[in-house]
A and B are shown apart, each in its own frame.
Chain A
Amino acid sequence: MSDYLVILFGAVFVENIVLAKLLGVYTFIASSKSSKAANGMGLAVVLTTIAATVISYPVQTYLLAPRGLAYLNLLVFFVIVAVMAKLAEKLLSSYADAFDQVPGNLFAMLLTNSAVLGVSILFSSRAYDFGQALAFAIGAALGYWLAIVVFCGVRGRIANAPIPAAFSGMPITLVAAALVSLSFAGFSGVAEGLFK
C-alpha cells in the first residue's frame, strides 16, 4: 500500500507533471488566466488521463508488448487519448457554462497537451504494474490540476502589479512559473520518507 502512496504523492508533489517534468506547459499557461478556466482544464485533464490510463495499460501490456509491437505505443496511446478527450469534452460541456472560459477548443487542447499523452508514455517506460500505473496517473493528473489552480492564484496577483513593459504578458508569467516550480522543488526527497 505504501508503495502506491509513494508513487501517488511523488507524482503530485515531487515530480509534478508540469512544474518538474515540464509536460503540458503551453496549456498550463494558456488555461491559468481565470479560476474557471483553470478548474475546467484541470478537471478535463484528470478525467482524460485516468480514463486513458485504465484503457492503455492493458492494451500496452497484454496486446502490444508480447507481440513485439512496442513501436506502435505512441499511435495507440494517441488514439485512446483522442477518444477519451472527446468523451471528456462531451461530459464537461453538458455541465454547462462553468467551463466555457477554457480557451479554444477543449478537445484540441487536451489532444495537444503533452501531459496527458506523456503520462501513458511515462508509465509504459517504467515497468509499473496496473496499480502503480493507476496511482501514477491519478497523481500526475491531480498534480496538474493543483499546479494550474495554484498558478492561477499567482497570476491574479501579477494582473494587479506594475510590470515593466518588456515583461508584461508571457515573460512575467514564465518568471512567476519559475518561482512556483521552485517551491515545488522543496518537496524533493519527501515522498519516500513520509510513508515508511
Chain B
Amino acid sequence: MVNKEARLTGGILQRNPVLVLGLGLTPALALTTTVRDAFWMGLITAAVLICSNIVISIVRKAIPERARTVGYLFIIIGFVTIASLLLAAYAPRIETALGVFLPLIAVNYLVLLGADGFAQEKGIGKSIVDSFLATVGFLFALLVIGSVRELLGSGTWLGHAVTAGKITPFGLFKTAPGGFFIVGVLMALVRKLTPSNSEKEDAGNV
C-alpha cells in the first residue's frame, strides 16, 4: 500500500506526464485557457485511457506484435468515437468547446504510451490502477495550467471573478504564446521543487 501511495504522488509530481515528461502537450496548451475546458479534457482523456486499457489488456494476446501500435490505436479510436457521440447527445456545449481536440485524444501520445506500457504485460486490475494513476497526473497538470492561465488571462477562476478591479487581466495568457510560456515556466517550477528529477526523459532532450 505504501508503494501505491508513492506511485500516486509520483504520478502527480515527480513523474507528471505533462509537467515533467512533456507528454500530451497539445491538449495541455490548447485547452487550458479556462479551468472548465481543462477539467473536461482531463476527464474525457482519463475515461478513454482507462476504458481502452481494459479492452487492450483483454485482447492483447490476439493482436500480433507487428500490428500492435495500429491495433491499440483502433481500440482507442473506438472509445474516442463513443465519447464524442455521448457528448454530442448529452453535452453539446462541451463538445463544441473541445472542438478538434476531442477526436484528437485518439492520437494523444500519453494515451498510446499508457496503452502500450500498462495494458501490455499485466492483468486487468493492475492496468486499471496504472492508467488511473497516469490520468490523475494528467488531470492535475491540466487543472494547474488552466487555473494559472484563467487567473492571469481573464481574472477569473471557473468563471467566478477573482481579481476584478484589482489587477487588469492580461489577455496574452489566453493565446497560444501565453500557453507555451506558462507551461514552460510551470515545468521549470516543478523541476525546481523536485530536484531529484532525471532530465533525460523529456522530448526536449531526445
Chain A contacts to B: CB under 8 angstroms: 19-26, 29-30, 33, 71-75, 78, 82, 103-104, 108, 111-114, 117-118, 121-122, 125, 164, 166-175, 177-179, 181-182, 185
- Within 8 Å by CB of A114, from B85, B104, B180, B205, lies B104
Please give the distance in Å from A60's CB to the nearest CB on chain B: 13
Interface size class of B (residues with CB under 8 A): 35 or more
Closest to B20 in A: A170
For B181, give the chain A residue with the smallest CB separation: A178
User: Which B positions have Cβ atoms within 8 angstroms of A?
Assistant: 22-26, 29-30, 69-70, 73-74, 77-78, 80-81, 84-85, 100, 103-104, 106-109, 112, 175-181, 183-185, 187-189, 191-192, 199, 202-206
Residue of B at shortest CB range from A177?
Answer: B180
A112-B112, A171-B191 known, 17 other contacts, Cβ within 8 Å? A20-B176, A29-B22, A29-B203, A30-B206, A71-B85, A74-B84, A75-B77, A82-B70, A82-B73, A111-B69, A169-B202, A174-B180, A175-B180, A177-B184, A178-B177, A179-B177, A185-B177
Check A118/B181 contact, CB under 8 A, given A26-B25, A82-B70, A169-B199: no
How far, in Å, is A39 (CB) from chain B's closest CB?
A: 16
Q: Give every chain A residue within 8 A of B84 (Cβ-Cβ).
A: 71, 74
Measured between C-beta atoms, what is the minimum distance from B91 to chain A in Å? 16
